[in-house]
Amino acid sequence: MNDDSGNRWPLDLRIFGAVCLVWAALLLLRAFSGAQPGSSEPFQDVILGVKLYGNPARLAMALQALMFAAFSIGILARRRWGLVLARIYWVYVGLSQLLFMAIYFHDDSQRGHVRNAEVLLPAMLLILFYIWYRTGSLLNKARSK
């Protein structure tokens, strides 16, 4: 549902959409560029808490980039589905972080990655709460029409 009734979406939400679109482009570039700079490890990414390597990791990162692009475009186009996708994606991100930490908590070779996930989890949850809060009134308005 398009919100063309004269109600403008909040500027911060539109900026968030634009930043996420840039992030999607950077993720796609990283997924399809060469090896990770300065690393002798194979390319890696995490999906649903499970670490992938090589081409499967590239595919997972490309899929994440496409999801970012989809909800970003939806937000920038002021479409309700963009808000719903953003909510779903950020719930997935939070759950994926928690799953990753639970799965690899006792794996000594992943200790640094688990520590990074622990540090990033509060930021991911803040983004989720931000999206949930900022989209709530827009989704409720669209539902009541």
Summarize pLDDT for 64-104 with one digit per residue, the tens: 999 999 999 999 999 999 999 999 999 999 999 999 999 88
β-pair partners for 79? 2
Please give the Cα distance from 8 to 32 (Å, whole number).
36
* Domain boundary assignment for the chain: 11-135
Q: Is the pLDDT of residue 33 over 90?
A: no
pTM of this structure? 0.81
pLDDT band at 49 (very low <50, low <70, confident <90, very high): confident
